Each structure stands twice: as structure tokens, then as C-alpha cells.
Amino acid sequence: MTASAMLSVEAALEFLLSRARPLTETESVHLLNAGQRVLAGELRARLDVPPANNSAMDGYAVRSAEVHADAWLPVSQRIAAGDAPGPLAEGTVARIFTGAPIPAGADAVIMQEQAHADGERVRFSAVAKTGQNIRLAGEDIARDGVVLPAGAQLGPAQLGLAASVGEAYLDVLRPLRVAVLFTGDELAEPGETLTAGKIYNSNRYWLRGLLEALGCQVRDLGIIPDSLAATRLALADAAATSDVVLTCGGVSVGEEDHVKHAVEREGQLDLWKIAIKPGKPLAFGRIAHADFIGLPGNPVSGYVTFLLLIAPFIRARQGRAARASWPVSRLTAAFDWPRKDPQRTEFVRVRKASRDGQTVLELFPKQGAGVLTSMAWADGLARIPANHIVKAGEQIDYLPFDELLS
């Protein structure tokens, strides 16, 4: 890959994914601490869920053949959730509550709204169909069935599901360690007084948020001065303790851009011009055993590049199940995009809105590569192919932020 030719964003993604070596080291982690972790192997159920037939209603467990409308039957037992009932005596019914086990012999539950109780006996206004209001053992999960596939990331639903099959500990992959550093003598931290020529280090705050949302363990090395020596030192330190080293800024080929030279000295580097707007320069390489990724310094360029290219790479690196492609849906543009870019695919900041009962995409008016307002306002990106203009009313590709990150 030469530095001069522009690489399509699809080709860049394919290349990055081909280089993503999934983690393999596993550890056993208690469910309460396993949020966001990635399952190392598939999880199978050691039991049926629910473990026994149980009542879906408060009512009466009956033998359906014995129930005749308005005929009295004696109530021989009371079964609450958590009880272990004996068999249902013939010619009788059992008072039963939601979640309680169905006694042997009963084949239906009649809900209490259809029952008229009088002391120890009850009559029903309706007959019963076999199986009604009974949740069957194994209805949710059958014993030995696959509960979760290998590579699943454990969100709240997955943790609840693992708990329902009784697993206290899960074998998960260790977290991916990502070091972040921010280049630029112009950078100051929020809370500091801004002196002439300085700007605040905004990239630090969205980048850490994105990495943490993906479940990475972040090592934050802060701001690195624009000098070759300082950059080399910081990169070597970061690589020694991390799986992936991510930098922001300094990857162009200006005199103050030291990342490229520093990585070339410490490891190896490809510098790509990617045919996307915003975004363009992206560096990828190796330092010792760590992968190196250099994001562009412009906040929106860095953010968009991260969502489209780096998030999928990180997911694969974490050992998560592969995603075939970006989450794209087609929606109606509520805007014109009259300026076509001859070479680059543009990813513009949009958000969904409802107009006359139809979902449309609105465009943020300022699309500059440094305008972070656009990211905070938008809920996704619209993809505009190279050499294409958009007319309001046209169907275009929409990539929601939440799905790009999920």
C-alpha cells in the first residue's frame, strides 16, 4: 500500500480486520463482574429453564377432564412459588400462584377470575383446556442447548440469561488493554486556564468514552509534547503495557507531526490516505507486540474514523463475534447535498426526525472536521458516495451511532 494512493474506506476496514488478532487468554469471572466481557466459549445449559412446569397465573391447578362448569370441587392443597407440592388428589383442585410448580396429575390452570371460592371448595365459570396457563419446563431454554455463543459480549440481558441457567462464573477473555495519547503543544486540559494559542484536549474525552463503551481497559497517557524524543518515549512505554496504542493527531506529514517518524523508529508503520470525508489520514502499524493506530487530530475526523474503522477492529481484537458489515439502513433525506466530492465518500452528521408521519434525516448545518457540535447534535451518519449529489426526498444510507458502537 503506497502513501500516495487513496484507499477506499471498505478496503481499509477489510485490511484492519485481517490484522486484528483476537485475544485468547481467558479468566473465570463472577457474573456480577462480567459486564461487557466477552464469552470465551459457548455457554450451554445444564438444566431446563424453567426447571419445572409451573403456573403462569394465580388460580387453580386442575385435572381438566374433571372440571364441569359450575360444579363444585374440593380444594385439597395450596401451592405457592417455591413450594414442592405432592401429587394432586383425584377429584380435587389445588389453589396455585404464579411461578408455583404444577402438582403431578394436574394438566391445566384456571385463572382465579374464572373461579368462585366458598370455604374449602370452588366452582368455575369456564371449562379448562389441557395445558392452559402452564409454562412448560425447558420452554425458555432446553437442557444442553446453547445459551450464548462464543464471542458474545455480556450485556445486561446476557448476564440475566447466564444467571437463569445457574452459572455463577463464566470463562471470559481478558479485557483488551488500550493505551491512548494525545499529541499537540496546543493542547490544554479542561480546568486549566487557556493561554494564547491553546485549545482544550477534547479528543481525550470522547475517545475514552468510546473505548470504555466498547469494554476496553484504557491506559491514559495524556498529552505528549510535539517532539520526536518525547513521542518515541511515550509510544514505547504505551506499547510495553498495552495490546493497542492509539494516538490522536500528529500523523500528517507536517514538521510538527512526529508520530509517523516515532512509530517508524520504534516499530513499523503504514500511513494511509483514506477516501473519506471527514477523516483522511490514518496510521496503522506495530510497536513491539502492540498494534498501533494513529487517528487524525481533528475531533470529528477522529471520531468518525473511530466509529467506522477502529470500533470494528477493536471488536475483532477483543475476540467478539465478527460483524459482516456496517449497520446501514435506507432513509429519506430531508436536505440537499449539492457539492459532490470527486473521490471521497462523505459521512455527514444527521439525525432522524418525523415529518408528516415519515422518518427523515436532517442535516447538521456545519459539517467541518473540527465541529464537535455536529457529533453531539446528530444520532448517526449519512453515507454519500463519491461523485454523488443528494436531493431532498432521495433515499440515502444511514448509520446510527449506537449501532456502530454496539
User: Which spans of this chain sit near Mg ion (rule: CB under 5 A)?
Assistant: 184, 249-250
201 binds, among ligand AMP, Mg ion, none (CB under 5 to 8 A by kind): ligand AMP
C-beta of 37 vs 280, nearer to ligand AMP: 280
**Applying CB under 6 A, which residues contact ligand AMP?**
182-184, 186-187, 199, 201-203, 248-250, 252, 296-299
One-letter-per-residue 3-state SS of the chain = CCCCCEECHHHHHHHHHHHCCCCCCEEEEEHHHCCCCEECCCEECCCCECCCCEECCCEEEECHHHCCCCCCEEEEEEECCCCCCCCCCCCCEEEECCCCECCCCCCEEEEHHHEEEECCEEEECCCCCCCCCEECCCCCECCCCEEECCCCECCHHHHHHHHHCCCCEEEEECCCEEEEEEECCCEECCCCCCCCCCEECCHHHHHHHHHHHHCCEEEEEEEECCCHHHHHHHHHHHHHHCCEEEEECCCCCCCCCCHHHHHHHHEEEEEEEECEECCCEEEEEEECCEEEEEECCCHHHHHHHHHHHHHHHHHHHCCCCCCCCCCCEEEEECCCECCCCCCCEEEEEEEEEEECCEEEEEECCCCCCCCCHHHHHCCEEEEECCCCCECCCCEEEEEEHHHHHC
Least distance in angstroms from the C-beta of 301 to ligand AMP: 8
C-beta of 202 vs 227, nearer to ligand AMP: 202
85 binds, among Mg ion, ligand AMP, none (CB under 5 to 8 A by kind): none
Distances 320 to 172, 176, 312, 313, 342 between C-alpha atoms, Å: 11, 11, 10, 10, 36
186 binds, among ligand AMP, Mg ion, none (CB under 5 to 8 A by kind): ligand AMP
Asked whether the bond before 342 is cis by omega within 30 degrees of 0, the reply is no
199 binds, among Mg ion, ligand AMP, none (CB under 5 to 8 A by kind): ligand AMP
C-beta of 158 vs 203, nearer to Mg ion: 203
C-beta of 54 vs 183, nearer to ligand AMP: 183
C-beta of 12 vs 137, nearer to ligand AMP: 12
Least distance in angstroms from the C-beta of 345 to ligand AMP: 20
C-beta of 75 vs 221, nearer to ligand AMP: 221
C-beta of 61 vs 246, nearer to ligand AMP: 246
Least distance in angstroms from the C-beta of 281 to ligand AMP: 7
Least distance in angstroms from the C-beta of 196 to ligand AMP: 14
C-beta of 9 vs 224, nearer to Mg ion: 224
Least distance in angstroms from the C-beta of 145 to Mg ion: 54
C-beta of 156 vs 197, nearer to ligand AMP: 197
Please state whether 387 falls in left (phi above 0), alpha (psi between -120 and 50) or beta.
left
- Asked if 262 and 229 touch (Cβ cutoff 8 Å), the reply is no
406 binds, among Mg ion, ligand AMP, none (CB under 5 to 8 A by kind): none
Least distance in angstroms from the C-beta of 239 to ligand AMP: 20
Least distance in angstroms from the C-beta of 298 to ligand AMP: 4
Least distance in angstroms from the C-beta of 188 to ligand AMP: 10
101 binds, among Mg ion, ligand AMP, none (CB under 5 to 8 A by kind): none
Q: φ, ψ for residue 28 (rounded to 5)?
A: -100, 125
298 binds, among ligand AMP, Mg ion, none (CB under 5 to 8 A by kind): ligand AMP
Least distance in angstroms from the C-beta of 224 to Mg ion: 10
Of all residues in this chain, which one has the CB nearest to ligand AMP in the complex?
297
202 binds, among Mg ion, ligand AMP, none (CB under 5 to 8 A by kind): ligand AMP
